[in-house]
Amino acid sequence: MSALLSHLTIPFLLAMFLAITMGGSGTAPSFSAAYGANVIKRTMIPGLFGVMVLLGALIAGKEVSLTLGVGLLEQSFFTPIVTSIILLSIALSLLFANLLGVPQSTSQSTVLSISGAALALDGLNTKKLWYEIIPTWFILPLISFALMWVLVHWVFPFIKSKVLTVDYGHLESHKLLKFVLIGSSLYVAFSIGANNVANAAAPIASLTANELGPEGAQNFLPIIILSVLIVAPCFAIGSSLLGHQVTETTGKEIVTVTPLYATIIALIVASLLLLASLVKGIPTSLVQLNGAAFIALSISKNGWKATFSNKTVKLFFSVWTVAPVFAFLFTFGLIYLAKWFGLQ
């Protein structure tokens, strides 16, 4: 085995493992609405999810890949050890969330893991982190919440249509709504591909380019595309192995949704994520956008107290806080130790 291949093997395997965990976590915001509305079979979800994720990554994922590959930490810092530690910490934080049945933000774990590495290596681009990425993490969930709140309180009450209250049992007589709901779920998966595949693909692309030297730096985009083609299919594997529990949790344990509301939630969160991907290349949290919309709907139906006393909502906020912080501290600590022992 050549030196290049031996340096890349472990990081690529870790990236594939990370993609599998992301597939489990990302299935929920894609298909929890459709699954909660009982319009799609669970066995169909992994295949559809995998195809749309791949398309999203190839068509609209370039800017996010550049942000994670070179925007937070210079490409030259992505050595095999650093890249392996980054990917391992992200994967462990997401695996922890998946085992608890909570869809976790891959993007936040990735950004904080890379930031932990950058801080340990004195290479952090603080302007990109503090002035672009972190504000987006707060603003977009608030927009998702606000849009759903406005629609439920000030738009839908003035729309006199039976479609608003169609329940699962009568959905068969509204085939157009059923089709739109499934289409919106596919749209969410596409947006995940545009934003989240880069979490695994960008670090190994930067590592590969770094290992290849000047020629790799000049051909960074083709390297990213090849990395995506390796990583994206693993999302479908993760969806099949780990996706059911988190889909069940989000789709049916926060609030019961009608088919129309499920469709609207999917359209809102996918559009916001795709906007962040295309305009600024900001890796952001689809699961939090999704959760914010579900919470807004729950508050409108059950009230503030009942919603925030819901054990699932409490678990969501706890894991959303702990997992990214773990990724940051784990990465920072391991890389600091690697420097201490002269391994980096």
pLDDT in tens, 35-82: 766 777 778 888 898 999 999 999 999 999 999 988 899 888 999 999
The string of pLDDT tens digits covering residues 312-329 is 788 778 877 888 888 999
User: Which of 189, 30, 7 is closest to 81 using CA atoms?
Assistant: 7
Mean pLDDT lowest among 88-102, 184-198, 317-331? 88-102
What pTM was estimated for this model as a whole?
Answer: 0.87
Q: How confident is the model at residue 135 (pLDDT cuts 50, 70, 90)?
A: very high
User: pLDDT tens for residues 269-315?
Assistant: 899 999 999 988 999 988 788 889 888 988 888 888 888 888 778 87
| Confidence label for 217 from pLDDT (cuts 50, 70 and 90) | confident
Mean pLDDT over each residue of the chain, to the nearest integer: 83
Cα gap 132→279, rounded to integer Å? 11
The answer to whether residue 112 scores a pLDDT higher than 60 is: yes
**17 C-beta neighbours (distance < 10 Å), count:** 20
